[in-house]
Structure 1
């Protein structure tokens, strides 16, 4: 009976949890943008879209789509971001949130061998549950800071956070030289 339960749990973990991990990771990244935006502007009129494809669920402020790769933080009033500092605060919020999420994930992964695994879960499943979010968030962190346009998903054609920051700082330097 124990082995059957382990197999069922492992199947559920391998099917549903990766999707939930991806949604949560993108959501946390986008919430980071929201926090940066709200701290810089005091404005609460914004919206977050996680993923692309068929809409799974949502509200006025949040939408989660079937394919959880990429996300968008949208403001209702662009005019609130009236300085380079405010824009940088918003653009850095996402990568900072992802970085802060990486800290406990790295700590957990490093200490995994010391913690042991619960009897009901297989060792491979536990390693996967720790390693997958770590790797996924590391990818989000690197891709968001790499200064290039996105070529896939809901962000296709948009500039990465890193590219947005590079463009802002370059424009700011150019204007200060005039």
Structure 2
């Protein structure tokens, strides 16, 4: 029983890491001066595994929530509407691609490893769906707005700005 709980926590943490790395990769792709930080769990940097990949820094632990922050140098212009949209869509797209890859891979592996792979695929699909629903996560999951809610708010603000300028 304990081993199953540990495996589930590791699968969830890996799925979250992939999702948040999608946001981070989108960030450093859309702007050559931007940097990204990925956090699993709280925003604390203490007692976490620190990994750096170029302009992406990750603070990792076993967790059921995570988020990605980006920073742009003050001399650079702020992110445009399209750059923000790419940032918000990066995580769900990474989760979807991971789901498809793991789902296909699960057909070639049997036994316990196959079960872990198909359940990992399911976790990524669940993360893909739930992150696109416009809602605010419960406090125990970070209490932040979902990617879907941030996309919706971004589209509304852009529409209002276009209506105001015409």
Mapping of residues 5-154 of structure 1, within 5 Å: 14-52=4-42, 55-59=47-51, 61-66=57-62, 68-77=63-72, 81-109=78-106, 111=107, 115=108, 117=110, 123=111, 125-153=112-140
Deviation of residue 51 (structure 1)?
2.3
Deviations 1:88-110 (A, max 9, x none): 0111111111111011122234x
Structure (1 or 2) with the larger CA radius of gyration: 1
Cα displacement (A) at 1:15 = 5.0
Q: Which residue of 1 aligns with 2:159?
A: 173
Q: Report the RMSD for the aligned CA atoms in angstroms.
A: 2.7
Distance change (3 Å), C-alpha of 1:82 and 1:57: closer
Structure 2: 5+ residue runs without aligned partners? none
Alignment TM-score, normalising by the size of structure 1: 0.75
**Cα distance in 1 for residues equivalent to 2:2 and 2:141:** 29
Q: Which secondary structure does the structure 1 equivalent of 2:61 belong to?
A: strand
Task: Tell me the number of residue pairs that the alignment of Structure 1 and Structure 2 aligns.
Answer: 156
CA distance in structure 2 between the partners assigned to 1:86 and 1:116 by the alignment: 38
- CA deviation string 1:66-94 (max 9, x = no partner): 4x212110123387543110100111111
d(CA) in 2 for partners of 1:85 and 1:126? 40
